[in-house]
């Protein structure tokens, strides 16, 4: 799944990072892990990804220590995985700014004081840089409901919840 490295890539840490998480499915798996998805079957259902592709990508993410697989076979973000949050938040904000005319699809708030979190990850109410487990995520004005969720996992993911809280 990794793209071949080129000579120029050796001095670019963006290229190195993209070798790990530059593939679309991979970054969406990481996103869902932030939303609290932990089980293989739930990743498969949420993403609609072929199971073989999911297996390959989960293995690679575990190998790179982005995800850890526990004794129950559930996947969780490691500290190294959680460190990807600012990149994911920035890409979501970019997508909202340029491709979501009705506003943000997912609104981020500081769980403690319900302050909206700005594009740099700071609470606009208390000024704190909000840690990932303190982030509350909820459908925003740009969120397009596709009707009542057909499965309990989707229903939970689309309700206000804290990041990393298991589904
Ligand atoms: Zn706050």
Ligand 1 centroid–CA 101 distance in Å is 27
Per residue in 1-25, pLDDT (tens digit) is 455 666 667 889 999 999 999 999 9
Is 165 in contact with 35 (CB distance < 8 Å)?
Answer: no
Ligand 1 centroid–CA 122 distance in Å is 8
Ligand 1 centroid–CA 90 distance in Å is 19
Ligand 1 centroid–CA 1 distance in Å is 39
Question: Looking up tokens 């009542």, which residue turns up?
Answer: 148
Ligand 1 centroid–CA 46 distance in Å is 30
Mean pLDDT of the chain: 92
Cross-strand partners of 114? none
Burial of residue 97, with CB atoms counted within 10 A of its CB: 0-12 exposed, 13-18 middle, 19 or more buried = exposed
Ligand 1 centroid–CA 134 distance in Å is 9
What pLDDT shows up at residue 62?
Answer: 98
Q: Report the percentage of the chain scoring pLDDT > 70.
A: 93
Region 107-130: mean pLDDT is 95
Ligand 1 centroid–CA 158 distance in Å is 22
């Amino acid at each position: 799944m990794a793209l071949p490295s080129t000579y120029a890539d050796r001095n670019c840490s963006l290229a190195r990072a993209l070798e790990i998480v530059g593939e679309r499915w991979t970054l969406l798996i990481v996103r869902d892990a932030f939303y609290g998805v932990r089980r293989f079957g739930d990743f498969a259902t949420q993403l609609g990804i072929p199971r073989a592709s999911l297996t390959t990508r989960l293995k690679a993410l575990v190998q790179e220590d982005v995800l850890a697989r526990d004794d129950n076979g559930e996947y969780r973000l490691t500290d190294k995985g959680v460190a990807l949050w600012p990149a994911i938040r920035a890409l979501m904000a970019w997508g909202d700014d340029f491709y979501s005319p009705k506003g943000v699809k997912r609104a981020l708030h500081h769980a403690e004081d319900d302050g909206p979190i700005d594009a740099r990850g700071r609470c606009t109410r208390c000024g704190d840089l909000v840690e990932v487990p303190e982030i509350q995520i909820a459908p925003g004005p740009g969120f397009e409901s596709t009707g009542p969720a057909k499965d309990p996992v989707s229903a939970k993911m689309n309700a206000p919840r804290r990041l990393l809280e298991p589904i």
